[in-house]
Amino acid sequence: MLQIEPSVIGTASDPKLFEIEKGAIRAFANAIGDDNPLYTDEDFAKRQGFASLVAPPTFPTTFRLHNPRLQIKAARILHGEQEYRYMRPIVAGDVLQCVSQVVDVYERTGKLGAMTFLVTEIQGHDLAGNLVFTGRSTIIL
């Protein structure tokens, strides 16, 4: 039996603005153990043609969006898969408007029984309305 009703497919979070800060980029890079100077040295990033520090590719995992139709207990989930596609890099100083939408719910049977899979997609647009990135996430309940 599905732990989440398929009727949530197509539902979305409210749009939320995220201001991308240098300190958050540096802290994230440090947390994942990536010392790429694009993420930590603003002068280096500018010499490479960027306006400021560049966010690591998995940085949007820090964006928290709430879909009121989803009532999931964090202790009952496993991370299944994550994928990002970028139209351009995220850099410090960006303000991104993000929305997360449920794109699929399905069930599979594993060794321990039935598992429910929830697939969501997040989109981040800049303030001019340009798509900056999309992210697709699968969690297992």
pLDDT digits (tens, 9 = 90+) for 32-56: 999 999 999 999 999 999 999 999 9
CATH classification (class only), 6-140: alpha beta
For the chain, the structural domain boundaries read 6-140
Please provide the average confidence, as pLDDT, over all residues in the chain.
93
Kindly indicate the confidence band of residue 128, based on its pLDDT and cuts at 50, 70 and 90.
very high
- What's the one-letter identity of residue 137? S
Q: Say which DSSP state 54 is in.
A: B
- Report the percentage of the chain scoring pLDDT > 70: 96
pLDDT at 97: 98
Cα–Cα dist 120/135, whole Å: 8
**Cβ count within 10 A of residue 8:** 18
For β-strands 16-19 and 78-86, DSSP reports them as: unpaired
Strand partners, 106: 117
